[in-house]
Amino acid sequence: MVKAGIIGATGYAGAELARLLLGHKEVEIKWYGSRSYIDEKYAKVYGNMFQLVEDTCLDDNIKELAKQVDVIFTATPQGFLAGVLTEEILQDTKVVDLSADYRLKDVAVYEKWYQIPHKSPQFLAEAVYGLCEVNREKVKKARLVANPGCYTTCSILTAWPLVKEGLIDLNTLIIDAKSGTSGAGRGAKLPNLFCEVNENMKAYGVSTHRHTPEIEEQLGYALGAQATINFTPHLVPMNRGILVTEYASLREIRQADGSMALPSYKQVKEAYDKYYKDEYFIRVLEKGACPETKWVEGSNFVDIGFQIDERTGRVILMGAIDNLVKGAAGQAVQNMNLMFGLPEQEGLRLVPLFP
Amino acid sequence: MVKAGIIGATGYAGAELARLLLGHKEVEIKWYGSRSYIDEKYAKVYGNMFQLVEDTCLDDNIKELAKQVDVIFTATPQGFLAGVLTEEILQDTKVVDLSADYRLKDVAVYEKWYQIPHKSPQFLAEAVYGLCEVNREKVKKARLVANPGCYTTCSILTAWPLVKEGLIDLNTLIIDAKSGTSGAGRGAKLPNLFCEVNENMKAYGVSTHRHTPEIEEQLGYALGAQATINFTPHLVPMNRGILVTEYASLREIRQADGSMALPSYKQVKEAYDKYYKDEYFIRVLEKGACPETKWVEGSNFVDIGFQIDERTGRVILMGAIDNLVKGAAGQAVQNMNLMFGLPEQEGLRLVPLFP
Amino acid sequence: MVKAGIIGATGYAGAELARLLLGHKEVEIKWYGSRSYIDEKYAKVYGNMFQLVEDTCLDDNIKELAKQVDVIFTATPQGFLAGVLTEEILQDTKVVDLSADYRLKDVAVYEKWYQIPHKSPQFLAEAVYGLCEVNREKVKKARLVANPGCYTTCSILTAWPLVKEGLIDLNTLIIDAKSGTSGAGRGAKLPNLFCEVNENMKAYGVSTHRHTPEIEEQLGYALGAQATINFTPHLVPMNRGILVTEYASLREIRQADGSMALPSYKQVKEAYDKYYKDEYFIRVLEKGACPETKWVEGSNFVDIGFQIDERTGRVILMGAIDNLVKGAAGQAVQNMNLMFGLPEQEGLRLVPLFP
Amino acid sequence: MVKAGIIGATGYAGAELARLLLGHKEVEIKWYGSRSYIDEKYAKVYGNMFQLVEDTCLDDNIKELAKQVDVIFTATPQGFLAGVLTEEILQDTKVVDLSADYRLKDVAVYEKWYQIPHKSPQFLAEAVYGLCEVNREKVKKARLVANPGCYTTCSILTAWPLVKEGLIDLNTLIIDAKSGTSGAGRGAKLPNLFCEVNENMKAYGVSTHRHTPEIEEQLGYALGAQATINFTPHLVPMNRGILVTEYASLREIRQADGSMALPSYKQVKEAYDKYYKDEYFIRVLEKGACPETKWVEGSNFVDIGFQIDERTGRVILMGAIDNLVKGAAGQAVQNMNLMFGLPEQEGLRLVPLFP
């Protein structure tokens, strides 16, 4: 039995971790950390947990916690983990960090986009970027996993095979992303009130959103070179779900007859198959199908569809995830499974909820 | 391994059965019946099932199906099962009927409220009303279970202990019920369009809704006498969830000192505890708490709260369920578990999804 | 041209006042008061007002304001107006108060339900309860109007003619009310976050909601006697709209042939017609129709329907309003029109927005 | 008084026309045409119109209607008007067509994208594309106006000044559009059911949507050359509102010092000001602001914002409209005002509804 602690257990991602771990037969939650609700019953903070969780929220003493558990999940604001992490802690326990602290390898990039100093850059080299389908083998050996952001998970996985295979020009990539409101967290802020969000839509963080460098870095690895892209997030009136629509110019590739031509539907499909054929959590839809966020709700799936536009020479990629599952807690559990040698899908064979 | 068939697998209740049974380790679904989608892939009708269900929808030959499976779930329109059920079928298989065909013992009441003739009243005596917490022992021995309606499940369970213990005057009972839109089914009807339902609320079926006699019959059993009540359903803009608010005049009961007085909070609470203390799926909330449908979403729980109003001598009861789970497919699986001697909670230990 | 000032202009009711007054050809808004946004541009606080309102939010100096305008609307928290109102102010200007400060004639009742002392009870006798259809003539002569609450407006108008005509037993009245979330105001509170409200429903303030005594007082006037009722509000996931469902036992009345019998559909309808036939803003629907909140959205209408249940001897009344219009700002403007001798419908002939 | 007839009065666009024309003091609606509801009371089909419209729906005899009214609005399926329009009709009345029949000048393009033959191409030359802000003078003299599509109105107006001034490379233009569900019409189709749309998002018509050639044609006029673009519509769970996010590479322009450089914020803003400074219905937001659909709901406004991304050399444009107002009925009324010499804003000075 893996003993787990959650720091930041009362945010939406923390609560989703609790939901998933309660259904995971190899894990026991030992610690519900929450600075905002110290000494309150967890089930008071999340009424869905009534009679399912009897624990009380605790303060977040990570050093003490590390001695008690096998793995710590930190679902905390940027800068928290970097401010408290020590070698001693990592010798006591494994850590899956749902914040951005160890996602970007370049501390200067981190400090520029997040506007805070990084307090423990010494762990950056060791930290594994926990995009399981891409870094599976590294995750298995990791002590410290940087769990990818919600937008980034969806954005990267949707484009990865095409970048890797050189089918698109990465510098032309434009990602138009739409997210449900749980991604904005449980903070009591006016823009997240029901009446402000409901029956409303808007873009935000245009050209400045922090997931941009994360996508650029990872897709840069796929390409083997640096590139700049556009990423624009939007807020839509729903609880869960991220949909990305990605646009890129196709690159001519050598065809069977030796000529150069834009890739066909079949060739793009083959690229996806090459990387994702055996991936349980990635579902490349049938020709012509467009992913819908509702088809993945509550599950760890990534649904992907694409359409070639011959008129413009572009391909339009579409990806859908549940931002709290594959975009946060689900992927964190998937990483934990890998780190502890458990079956990767344990606790995550969730059938999407419809309607 | 219990072999199961679903007739009406492409309605919302049928799809929820599929979701739950896919996660049930003792059941295998052998038959996805759907008149509307014969020969179409089930995963085309419900995109969430992509790569999870490879089956194709079949016509609904119940006689043939009965020979192949251990249990049939009928999630079909009123009158369907009554029109095809035979003794032969019941000798071949067990049946859990999610329609109303065998819920009302009095065929005249059925025909009056449903406005169709009942074609096989000979099975009415045998059919067990599948409200598990009330009729558990009978369900265990049943061949034919009438799975209760969504509104009725919530309405009855919320009031049952108080009626049973004589704490309220049943003839004063008024049930004001609110439901998400999945209860209206997947039929393509104008009133169920997004733009008609969203940002809108209304009552419907006022004083004529078919769940009224079902509630009256069952609560009449609890009382040991007939009674008439008011039941008013409302449509609200959400997918899942039923909330009932019930009003009844309290009856004076004999107190410890021999005097007669209205029951106290403690006395009402004790009535609930007497019947529900060991019921996993019924959660009587703490004093002052009001149930929220979101706290039970995706789960088989019934959440109950109550408030005594001393000014008017009434008690206000509140109950919340997920209409597709405890109000339909979940309770059907719970009944199946009982009928086959499986652990009652098997496949149903679902943590509610929040948010 | 009537010069108007709004104190509390940045709450939802204040913003709706601004919307309505901008479309009112006899009114000019001179003052947007808002303690929270002093010196900020109003159109920054409400983006819909961009290029429509150039004003900046001001502090709420009511004494100074009274000298500048003909009417002040106070859309402020309970206790504010009672704490600042003086005879001098009322000599300078008329006041329409959207808070509860002058709604209840009995200061003890106010202090019990609102749990704050009343600082200027000397104006209670003078204040007119601004339910226009009931108190029209008094409003015309008023200096100080207490604009009714949202729930109360809908609850009272729906039942008024039946109480007045003695058709129902007021002590049996149970009001089950459902409201959109704008009624909860624009405060940044966790329970009002999108993810907490969306796909959720709950009752609140059960047996303790402050609109209860207001309804009892006004319907008591109609009856000519005191009565106690049950009132239960619910929160539903939509922006605007209140729906009330009211249950009451019918009283036998003398029929044409001299016998006593419960009133018929026709007799109930005649009661409504007697009071509302010429009321532009009250629409009593056709037989069998149930009001929908969407049919009144954005307008000042009250839609009413009813159904007699002969089985239980009760009548079920249904009423729908837009809580921000007839339930707040619209009725405030209607009161202002009456107070200034303007056509009662001026600025309020708004066609409901659908969908 | 302008006498108006509506053909297709019971679709959402037709109903919005009714709402707007009822509030227009120079217009009288003489004819509510609806094939689906012949002889039914209009207020039965749209309950919001109860006691506001007493008319009954009529069949759509356009020839007869043309003799009775000054203007006909056709809110009908593609191909309807083209199939019935005659010179005789246009001599009797003016026509504002909300369908696509006369939007594309090239009949081959129409037939390719709409997959139906065009039955009256002889009127294509005469028809004026009714984008008021662009074609105002032509509209004033028109007998037949092709009212632009909802997506196209928003897409074109958002980009127009930048194309016209040569600030962007039109062939790099990518339009990612998101729409509320009223754009899908009032047809009773499964994909538009509440439970299918709510808590869901998807792209559709990827690279094949019919508004694509309309945008290309009109922006081609602005450019003075043909271009191909990408346009991808998405469905989001809300009633009203379109948001477009447009991406394009900036073109270097000659600067004051003679050098070539990408345009600055100020230069892009000046382009907008040049064309829109005096346009009442177009609101170019302040620097850094992103349009929200809620800020224009129920109104005829187009809100526009933009952001330059120096990293990629692209500009991101954002535009928001109410699809039923500026995207359909509102623009139709604006066109009518121009055609009849009425003040352009008559009946359209609607303050957006918030929340």
A245-300 confidence digits (pLDDT tens): 999 999 999 999 999 999 999 999 999 999 999 999 999 999 999 999 999 999 99
Q: Using an 8 Å Cβ cutoff, are A109 and A226 in contact? A: no
- Closest of B303, D188, B44, B180 to residue A355, by C-alpha: B180
Query: In chain D, which residues have their Cβ closer than 8 Å to the Cβ of C349?
Result: 23
> What per-residue confidence (pLDDT) applies to B78?
95
Distance CA B157, CA C81 (A): 47
Nearest chain B residue to D197 by CA distance is B194
On whether any CB of chain A is under 8 Å from the CB of C251, the answer is no
Task: Please report, to the nearest 10 degrees, the dihedral formed by the alpha carbons of residues D235, D237, D243, D244 taken in order.
Answer: -30
Nearest by CB to residue C174, choosing from B171, B247, B308, is B247
**The tokens 């917490």 sit on which residue?**
B133
Q: Are strands D253-254 and D260-261 parallel, antiparallel or unpaired?
A: antiparallel
Q: Do C201 and B292 touch (CB under 8 A)?
A: yes
Nearest chain C residue to D352 by CA distance is C48
Output DSSP code: residue C50.
T
From B199's Cα to the closest Cα of chain D, the distance in A is 8
B189-216 confidence digits (pLDDT tens): 999 999 999 999 999 999 999 999 999 9
Q: Which residues make Cβ contacts (< 8 Å) with residue C10, sequence separation at least 6?
A: C32, C34, C36, C37, C42, C45, C46, C57, C186
> What per-residue confidence (pLDDT) applies to A258?
95
**The tokens 């009822």 sit on which residue?**
D22
pLDDT at D60 over 90: no
Query: Six-digit token pair at D234?
Result: 């998405």
String of DSSP letters for B15-56: HHHHHHHHT-TTEEEEEEE-GGGTTSBHHHHSGGGTTT---B
- Closest of B259, B279, B23, B254 to residue B160, by C-alpha: B279
Q: Using an 8 Å Cβ cutoff, are A59 and A33 in contact? A: yes
Output DSSP code: residue C41.
B
D303-316 confidence digits (pLDDT tens): 999 999 999 999 99
Residues 4-23 (C) with a CB less than 8 A from some CB of A = 12
Q: Do B193 and D194 touch (CB under 8 A)?
A: yes
pLDDT (mean) for A304-322? 98
Nearest by CB to residue A47, choosing from B49, B292, B351, is B292
String of DSSP letters for B283-331: EEPPTT---BGGGGTTS--EEEEEEEETTTTEEEEEEEE-TTIIIIIHH
Residue of C154, C202, C247 for testing the chain B interface, max B β-carbons within 10 Å: C202
Query: In chain D, which residues have their Cβ closer than 8 Å to the Cβ of A206?
Result: 290, 307, 309, 316, 318
- Closest of C78, C85, C61 to residue C117, by C-alpha: C78
Q: Do D189 and B188 touch (CB under 8 A)?
A: yes
pLDDT (mean) for B54-67? 95
On whether any CB of chain D is under 8 Å from the CB of A240, the answer is yes
String of DSSP letters for D162-191: HHHTT-B-GGG-EEEEEE-GGGG-S---GG
Distance CA D185, CA C207 (A): 43
Query: In chain D, which residues have their Cβ closer than 8 Å to the Cβ of C51?
Result: 283
Output DSSP code: residue B148.
P
Burial (CB < 10 A; 0-12, 13-18, 19+), residue C260, is exposed
Q: Do A206 and D308 touch (CB under 8 A)?
A: no
pLDDT (mean) for C274-278? 98
Distance CA D219, CA D154 (A): 12
Amino acid at D130: G
On whether any CB of chain D is under 8 Å from the CB of A226, the answer is no
Nearest by CB to residue D355, choosing from C22, C199, C239, is C239
pLDDT (mean) for D184-208? 97
On whether any CB of chain A is under 8 Å from the CB of C238, the answer is yes
Cβ atoms within 10 Å of A147's Cβ, excluding its own: 32
Distance CA C32, CA C331 (A): 19
Report residue B31's pLDDT band, with 50, 70 and 90 as the boundaries. very high
Percent of residues, chain B, with pLDDT higher than 90? 99
Query: In chain A, which residues have their Cβ closer than 8 Å to the Cβ of B50?
Result: 283, 285, 295, 303
Cβ atoms within 10 Å of A45's Cβ, excluding its own: 20
Query: In chain C, which residues have their Cβ closer than 8 Å to the Cβ of D298?
Result: 298, 353
Q: Are strands B202-203 and B230-235 parallel, antiparallel or unpaired?
A: antiparallel
A178-212 confidence digits (pLDDT tens): 999 999 999 999 999 999 999 999 999 999 999 99
Q: Do B23 and A351 touch (CB under 8 A)?
A: yes
Report residue D328's pLDDT band, with 50, 70 and 90 as the boundaries. very high
Percent of residues, chain C, with pLDDT higher than 70? 100
What are the Cα distances from residue C1, in Å, to C15, C24, C49?
Answer: 21, 10, 22
Nearest chain A residue to B238 by CA distance is A355
Which backbone phi and psi does B307 adopt, to 5 degrees?
A: -145, 130
The one catalytic residue in C150, C154, C195, C290 is C150
On whether any CB of chain A is under 8 Å from the CB of B292, the answer is yes
pLDDT (mean) for B234-240? 98
Task: Please report, to the nearest 10 degrees, the dihedral formed by the alpha carbons of residues C175, C181, C183, C188 taken in order.
Answer: 140
- Closest of C180, C178, C161 to residue C304, by C-alpha: C161
Q: Which residues make Cβ contacts (< 8 Å) with residue D258, sequence separation at least 6?
A: none
On whether any CB of chain B is under 8 Å from the CB of A185, the answer is no
Which of helix, strand or coil describes residue B115? coil
| Exposure string over A170-196, b if 16+ CB within 10 A, otherwise e | bebbbbbbbbbbbbbbbeeeeebbbbb
C343-352 confidence digits (pLDDT tens): 999 999 999 9
Distance CA A315, CA A306 (A): 7
Cβ atoms within 10 Å of B267's Cβ, excluding its own: 16
Distance CA C222, CA C127 (A): 18
Query: In chain D, which residues have their Cβ closer than 8 Å to the Cβ of A178?
Result: 178, 201, 234, 236
Q: Using an 8 Å Cβ cutoff, are A17 and A329 in contact? A: yes
Output DSSP code: residue A147.
P
Q: Do D202 and A355 touch (CB under 8 A)?
A: no
Q: Using an 8 Å Cβ cutoff, are B68 and B3 in contact? A: yes
On whether any CB of chain C is under 8 Å from the CB of D47, the answer is yes
- Closest of D104, D134, D123 to residue D212, by C-alpha: D104
Query: Six-digit token pair at D224?
Result: 């003075």
pTM of the model: 0.98
pLDDT at C60 over 90: no
Percent of residues, chain B, with pLDDT higher than 70? 100
Query: Six-digit token pair at D193?
Result: 């059911």
**The tokens 């949707």 sit on which residue?**
A158
Q: Do D195 and B237 touch (CB under 8 A)?
A: no
Distance CA C313, CA C262 (A): 8
Which backbone phi and psi does B33 adopt, to 5 degrees?
A: -85, 135
The one catalytic residue in D150, D154, D195, D290 is D150
Radius of gyration over alpha carbons of chain B, in Å?
Answer: 20
Which of helix, strand or coil describes residue D133? helix
**The tokens 């960090």 sit on which residue?**
A97
String of DSSP letters for B52-91: T---B-B---HHHHHHH-SEEEE---TTHHHHH--HHHHH
On whether any CB of chain C is under 8 Å from the CB of B178, the answer is yes
Q: Do B12 and D195 touch (CB under 8 A)?
A: yes
Output DSSP code: residue A135.
H
Mean pLDDT of chain A: 98
String of DSSP letters for C109-125: HHHHHH-S--S-GGGTT
> What per-residue confidence (pLDDT) applies to C241?
98
Nearest chain A residue to C199 by CA distance is A239
Task: Verify whether residue B57 is a known catalytic residue.
Answer: no
Nearest chain D residue to C348 by CA distance is D23
Query: Six-digit token pair at A177?
Result: 């992303």
Output DSSP code: residue B250.
B
> What per-residue confidence (pLDDT) applies to B60?
85
Residues 331-350 (D) with a CB less than 8 A from some CB of A = none
Which of helix, strand or coil describes residue D41? strand
What are the Cα distances from residue C211, in Å, to A310, C104, C243, D110?
Answer: 63, 10, 15, 60
Distance CA B159, CA B282 (A): 12
Q: Do A193 and C199 touch (CB under 8 A)?
A: no
Q: Are strands A174-179 and A242-249 parallel, antiparallel or unpaired?
A: antiparallel
Q: Do B19 and A48 touch (CB under 8 A)?
A: no
Q: Do C245 and B232 touch (CB under 8 A)?
A: yes
Amino acid at A186: R
CA angle B112, B117, B119 (to 5 degrees): 140
Q: Which residues make Cβ contacts (< 8 Å) with residue C137, sequence separation at least 6?
A: none
Distance CA B213, CA B103 (A): 10
Distance CA D27, CA D5 (A): 10
Nearest by CB to residue D290, choosing from A203, A228, A311, is A203
Percent of residues, chain C, with pLDDT higher than 90? 99
On whether any CB of chain C is under 8 Å from the CB of B245, the answer is yes
- Can you give the length of chain D in residues? 355
Q: Using an 8 Å Cβ cutoff, are D104 and D214 in contact? A: yes
Q: Which residues make Cβ contacts (< 8 Å) with residue D310, sequence separation at least 6?
A: D262
Distance CA D141, CA D130 (A): 11
Amino acid at B311: R
A148-173 confidence digits (pLDDT tens): 999 999 999 999 999 999 999 999 99
B134-161 confidence digits (pLDDT tens): 999 999 999 999 999 999 999 999 999 9
ipTM of the complex: 0.97
Q: Do C309 and B236 touch (CB under 8 A)?
A: no
C65-80 confidence digits (pLDDT tens): 999 999 999 999 999 9
On whether any CB of chain A is under 8 Å from the CB of D290, the answer is yes
From D10's Cα to the closest Cα of chain A, the distance in A is 23
Query: Six-digit token pair at C8?
Result: 């509390």
On whether any CB of chain C is under 8 Å from the CB of A239, the answer is yes
From B17's Cα to the closest Cα of chain D, the distance in A is 17
Inter-helix orientation angle D150-164/D211-223, to 10°? 20
Distance CA B349, CA A22 (A): 10
